[in-house]
Amino acid sequence: GVSVHCQMMSEAIELLVTHIRSTVVSSRRKAKHAELDPPSSTHIAEVFSTLAKILEDGGVPPSSVNGRYCKTSQDRAALRRSAAINLLRLCDSGLKLEDTYLTSKMWHVLSNVLLDKEASVRDSVAEELSFMLSGIGKYRHGGVGS
DSSP 40: P
What integer pLDDT is reported at residue 26 of this predicted model? 81
- In order of 4, 109, 140, the CA distances from 35 in angstroms are 34, 35, 22
What integer pLDDT is reported at residue 135 of this predicted model? 87
pLDDT digits (tens, 9 = 90+) for 5-60: 899 999 999 999 999 998 888 887 766 565 677 789 999 999 999 999 999 999 98
The maximal CA–CA distance of the chain, rounded, in angstroms, is 47
pLDDT, mean of residues 101-117 = 96
What integer pLDDT is reported at residue 144 of this predicted model? 44
Distance between CA atoms of 136 and 120, rounded to whole angstroms?
21
What integer pLDDT is reported at residue 37 of this predicted model? 75
State whether residue 119 is helix, strand or coil. Answer: helix
Distance between CA atoms of 29 and 108, rounded to whole angstroms?
32
pLDDT digits (tens, 9 = 90+) for 64-77: 655 577 789 999 99
pLDDT, mean of residues 78-82 = 97
Query: pTM of this prediction?
Result: 0.89
pLDDT, mean of residues 91-104 = 93
What integer pLDDT is reported at residue 146 of this predicted model? 38
- In order of 2, 56, 92, the CA distances from 142 in angstroms are 33, 28, 7
pLDDT digits (tens, 9 = 90+) for 111-144: 999 999 999 999 999 999 999 999 888 887 544 4
pLDDT, mean of residues 100-112 = 96
Distance between CA atoms of 10 and 64, rounded to whole angstroms?
14
Give me the sign of the Cα torsion angle 130, 49, 47, 124. Answer: positive
27-46 burial, b at 16+ Cβ within 10 Å, e below that, comes to: beeeeeeeeeebbeeeebbe
